[in-house]
């Protein structure tokens, strides 16, 4: 059986438990009793329900319910859902370009994919899918919604989205081949702008090629902006490779499983592709999982300044386990948590920016009035952080454009370039321009070499990324 990793590697250990329950039965015997109960209920439904039922659909729904009760990211993937997952991580598929997640009977958008039909239609992270083709989407699973959104290239689907503080909005999305170029880049004056939209099998190669191209265009580059906004994540190997591109050495991320000895550490190899130039990383609440691994590693090593809004907070590892070689679908099951090099948990907390900046006045209002805005912490069944820390609640971002600010401009990106002009030193950053709301004293990190800031244990070759199976 080949295990495929959604955003990481994990050690899966199956053990028998022999402790007695209060009723005198072992947990194993109680589990067998409940399985027999399930069979009894299925038999009653088959015989007594008002219309004939499809046993396969009932059992698949039961599997989805069981996995969904664990946490928001554990799930049963039917064969069609497993095939779709493989397509997405290979870098091309047919659809509308959305990363989605279910919670409390609703399916929400984690992030729209760059250049896809949904992104072009103005769909944002946090939007709720209310209906598809006029039929309510309430109670549907992620797999069911995905199946309805996918279809032949050139066909259309009518989708209604709900957004905090706004009226429902119906859009018609035309399906197309979503070929994900995960990395793009351009020269902006004396700086280079890098956009990573997802982490797939091609990301490391595309990043190397893009940086080389930009260096050729302008050999005098003075700094880099790495844009991870609305990047919903992807493969662990890709996240490690992107982090490694900006680091000379040291730990990138660790993952810790159920047992104390289930710890894996991933480290950087020598060779910073940027030559040590200043780096700014842009994040927002649509930056999740693999994006948070990169932002957390570069922040902890004092290698980059983080600008934007606190990230989503998905710091858990899912191992995808095919069932009967995928013929019966697969299980995506949470097997570990991620921790940044300093030992901070990503789960339910996210990565806080060094300079908190909203892109628009509307976005600032969402952060100030919504409980946890749209984040992992908003899920009732979310895994805890394991370290007792909590995500910052509703507040007014430090910097936010006024209502008259041109929405076609990108204020977060403008401030990222300002940080680069200041050499990455927030203490020397120019004041926000007139018309920008400033609500807090900026957080200024002490200048400290990464070698003094963190232990940098390195990583034995035998557990380097690439030796573990991946999705």
* Under 8 Å between Cβ of 303 and 248: no
Residue 309 vs residues 221, 379, 382: alpha-carbon distances, Å? 26, 19, 21
Tokens at residue 462, please? 């035998």
Alpha helices in 358-423 (DSSP H): 361-369, 411-421
Residue 386 vs residues 345, 347, 365: alpha-carbon distances, Å? 7, 8, 30
**Cβ atoms within 10 Å of 86's Cβ, excluding its own:** 16
> Rounded CA gap, 102 and 379, in Å?
9
Helices (H) and strands (E) in the chain, counts: 11, 22
Strand (E) or helix (H) holding 59: helix 55-68
* Under 8 Å between Cβ of 465 and 241: yes
Which residues are catalytic, by number?
289, 300, 314
Q: Is 81 left (phi over 0), alpha (psi -120 to 50) or beta?
A: alpha
**Cβ neighbours for 436, distance < 8 A, ≥ 6 positions apart:** 399, 400, 401, 402, 405, 411
């Amino acid at each position: 059986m080949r295990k495929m990793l959604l955003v990481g590697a994990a050690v899966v250990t199956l053990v028998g438990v022999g402790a007695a329950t209060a009723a005198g039965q072992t947990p194993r015997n109680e589990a067998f009793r409940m399985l027999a109960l399930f069979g009894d209920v299925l038999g009653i439904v088959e015989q007594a329900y008002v219309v004939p039922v499809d046993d396969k659909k009932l059992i698949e729904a039961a599997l989805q319910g069981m996995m969904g009760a664990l946490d928001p990211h554990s799930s049963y993937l039917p064969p069609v859902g497993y095939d779709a997952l493989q397509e997405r991580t290979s870098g091309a598929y047919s659809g509308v370009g959305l990363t989605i997640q279910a919670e409390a009977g609703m399916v929400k958008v984690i992030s729209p994919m760059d250049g896809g039909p949904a992104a072009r239609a103005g769909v944002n992270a946090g939007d709720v899918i209310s209906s598809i083709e006029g039929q309510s989407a309430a109670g549907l699973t992620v797999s069911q919604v995905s199946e309805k959104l996918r279809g032949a290239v050139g066909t259309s689907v009518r989708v209604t989205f709900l957004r905090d503080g706004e009226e429902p909005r119906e859009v018609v999305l035309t399906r197309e081949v979503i070929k994900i170029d995960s990395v793009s880049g351009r020269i902006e004056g004396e700086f280079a702008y890098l956009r990573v939209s997802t982490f797939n099998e091609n990301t490391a190669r595309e990043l190397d090629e893009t940086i080389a191209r930009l260096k050729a265009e302008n050999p005098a580059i003075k700094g880099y902006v790495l844009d991870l906004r609305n990047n919903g994540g992807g493969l662990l190997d890709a996240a490690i490779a992107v982090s490694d591109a900006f680091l000379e050495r040291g730990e990138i991320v660790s993952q810790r499983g159920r047992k104390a000895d289930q710890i894996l550490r991933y480290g950087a190899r020598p060779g910073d592709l940027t030559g040590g130039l200043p780096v700014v990383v842009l994040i927002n609440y649509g930056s999740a999982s693999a994006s948070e691994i990169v932002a957390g590693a570069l922040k902890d090593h004092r290698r980059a300044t983080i600008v934007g809004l606190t990230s989503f907070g998905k710091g858990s590892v899912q191992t995808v386990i095919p069932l009967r070689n995928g013929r019966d679908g697969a299980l995506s099951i949470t097997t570990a948590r991620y921790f940044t090099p300093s030992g901070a948990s990503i789960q339910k907390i996210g990565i806080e920016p060094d300079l908190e900046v909203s892109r628009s006045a509307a976005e600032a209002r969402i952060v100030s009035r919504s409980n946890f805005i749209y984040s992992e912490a908003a899920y009732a069944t979310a895994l805890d952080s394991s370290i007792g820390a909590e995500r910052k609640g509703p507040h007014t971002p430090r910097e936010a454009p006024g209502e008259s600010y041109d929405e076609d401009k990108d204020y977060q990106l403008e401030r990222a370039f300002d940080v680069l002009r200041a050499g990455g030193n927030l203490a020397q950053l120019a004041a926000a321009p007139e018309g920008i709301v400033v609500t807090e004293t900026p957080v200024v990190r002490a200048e400290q070499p990464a070698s003094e800031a963190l232990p940098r244990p390195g990583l034995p070759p035998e557990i380097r990324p690439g030796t573990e199976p991946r999705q």
